[in-house]
Structure 1
Amino acid sequence: MSLKRQFLLACALALPGLALAQPAAAFPQRQVTMVVPFPAGGITDTVARALALKMGENLGKAVIVENKPGGGGQIAAAQVRQAPADGHTIYVGATEMFAINPVLFRKFSYDPLKDFTPITSLIRSPLVLVVPENSPIKDIDGLVKAARTEAKGLSFASQGPGSIGHLLGEVFRSKTQGQFTHVPYKGSAPGLQDLMAGQVDMMFDPVISTAPLIAGRKLRPLAIAAAERAPQMPQVPTLLELGLTGLDAQVWFGAVARAGTPAPVVQRLNDALHAAMKDPEVQKRFAEQGMQAFPSTPAQFGSFMAAEAARWAPLVKASGASID
């Protein structure tokens, strides 16, 4: 074989490898947009901006946050789905957007597992069962007893129909055989306000939003709905410790890209987000807000999303909750 032929053959064999390496080497070519389905100023927005700043330092390009609330995440998701599958536009959502809303909404515009490529899980915050600080209920035994013996039972607030707080409340009702009336709100804030005012008896809500109110002696924590105690509330037992199984729930957040995004680009985004989560400033902010980082590989996050969807879907259907 001539030297020229050997050279051409070597180039041909190298081309596939070069084609695979090129997307990662060339990425990012411009700023990256992180689309979040929540309003500016909220917890998710705060988390996204903290990660975006450090992520941009790692990528060498600016990472900006765009707030596209509404439609249970569908508006934000549509923007990412309509963008090129090149990793320059990513979607950061929560449990509801990836595991609950596709079943909760009668007509939902995207399939989290088919329309997106997982990048990584980001943070999580367990739910805590809280009552007003001045409530006569001091512990889980007292709460269950009241729900079984009082004429009208007890009421529990939630963040809305089909929310994690609602679904967990329904599971709690089933496990304890108590009488509980569901009172849905539009988000955590109004539910917590009425809870503190004594308008409702109890609520399952993330440590993120309850920790400041517990510290300010506005709410009393009875139990953590997680496998382990929360670092921010080490004195509060888990429901599992108290003999109630199957009540492990948490709010979690993750990042995805449009389906079809090249694997090297996804990995580059994964690396940048992991580096951001390891930053001491970011970790301090997470800890102060009752959140825990839990990075994963793209494959691990994909499996996690599928498992969460399988877990919550039947509970949504059993609750009867739906949104047009």
Structure 2
Amino acid sequence: MIPTRRRALLSAASGLTLGLASAARAQTAPPTPAEAPSSGAWPNRPVRIIVPAPGGGGTADTLARVFSQEMEKRVGQRVLVDNRGGANGNIGALAGARATPDGYTILWSWAGTLATGPALYKDLPFDPEKDFEPVALIGNVPNVLVVNKDLPIHSLQEFGDYARAHPNGINFGSTGNGSSMHLAGELYKSLTGAQMVHVPYAAPAAGVTDLLAGRIQAMFNLITGVAPQVRAGAVTPIAILDDRRSPQLPDVPTTAELGMPGLVFGTWFGLFLPKGVDPALLRRINAVANEILADPAARTRFEEQGMTPLGGDPARLANFLHEEIGRHAALVRQSGARNE
């Protein structure tokens, strides 16, 4: 990669690091339910949370179900998860955008669909900033670099040394072009000049299976997708792509600790409502979300799934989404990822 491209992506990586770090550390106190304006009788019937992913235990689905269970405890009505998988989340996101803005349909979405998607697709059927009302930034799940246990690699330094000694000798798996696993690997390549081969899979489990068998050598997987294999000693963990250690894998160092603070990547999650919802209702749902994220027991449930709870007011998510769209666009351009 030529020096100008490396400088551009280093700048993008630095911005991404600062964006996630500032989101995790913001000190603005979220509104409490007592401060939220009256939202009438809401809810007086079940609430639906659209998850733009298939059911069955994936990261997005699992976290959304934890959130829905915690929300049920607080609103006195059923909170149902409505899985709408397909098209990298675009089908579910479009359903969320077209829903009636009455507070009974909430979109649970994430970085890949709303921040990466605009750079991957020429004609999205929705605009992440114009077609939604941001409610709350829920949390972030970082990626972790893991390698096949038979490789002579046990540290980030050794990973770099091996990559330099074996150009294109490391095949790294992902869940497709533009996924967090792909862009994390491309970010590593750009920061180090390493030559690696990207191998996309339709599902993360297939990539993990090939990693265990040695058909690929590495993955920049989400913690939720590979933590059991790490704990079982089936793969070798190298580093968490974050500036803080994960409660799921507390013994695995971070890239920031290991001298690569620009190598930070993960998937953040947020709540969104269709455009046009009553502002008082928006604040009421935001207050419920922040009450959940502030509850120690609920936080533990999220952390056990690899997510760092965040929270904050709607403006925080709106500003964060705007910044992330720009950062992800830079990473997609540099990686060459594209979906038509």
The match for 1:27 is: 42
TM-score (norm 1): 0.88
- Give the count of matched residue pairs: 304
CA–CA separation in structure 2 for the residues paired with 1:234 and 1:278: 22
CA–CA separation in structure 2 for the residues paired with 1:312 and 1:285: 29
The alignment status of 1:267 with 2:286, answered yes or no, reads: no
CA–CA separation in structure 2 for the residues paired with 1:138 and 1:79: 45
Contact 2:174–2:182 at 8 Å: present in 1 too?
Answer: yes
Q: Deviations over 1:114-151 (max 9, x none)?
A: 10000011122111110022221121222111111225
Task: Please identify the structure whose Cα radius of gyration is greater.
Answer: 1
Give the structure, 1 or 2, with the largest relative contact order (CA under 8 Å, sep 6 or more). 2
Q: Deviations over 1:34-93 (max 9, x none)?
A: 110111122322222222122123222222111111122222122222222121111001
Q: Equivalent residue of 1:125, what SS?
A: strand
The 5-angstrom pairing of residues 1-324 of structure 1 reads 24-42=39-57, 43-150=59-166, 152-324=168-340
CA–CA separation in structure 2 for the residues paired with 1:21 and 1:194: 52
CA–CA separation in structure 1 for the residues paired with 2:254 and 2:296: 28
The answer for unaligned runs of 5 or more in structure 1 is 1-19
Q: Deviations over 1:11-48 (max 9, x none)?
A: xxxxxxxxx966x1232243211110111122322222
CA–CA separation in structure 2 for the residues paired with 1:235 and 1:36: 32
Q: Equivalent residue of 1:122, what SS?
A: strand
The answer for unaligned runs of 5 or more in structure 2 is 1-35
Q: Equivalent residue of 2:130, what SS?
A: coil
Contact 1:119–1:269 at 8 Å: present in 2 too?
Answer: yes
RMSD: 1.9
Q: Calculate percent identity across the aligned residue pairs.
A: 37
Cα separation, partners in 2 of 1:151 and 1:267, compared to 1, 3 Å: closer
Contact 1:106–1:322 at 8 Å: present in 2 too?
Answer: no
CA–CA separation in structure 2 for the residues paired with 1:70 and 1:262: 30
Contact 1:34–1:64 at 8 Å: present in 2 too?
Answer: yes
Q: Equivalent residue of 1:25, what SS?
A: coil
CA–CA separation in structure 2 for the residues paired with 1:229 and 1:311: 23
Q: Deviations over 1:246-303 (max 9, x none)?
A: 2111111111001111111111111122223344553333232222211121111111
Q: Equivalent residue of 2:40, what SS?
A: helix
Contact 1:153–1:178 at 8 Å: present in 2 too?
Answer: no
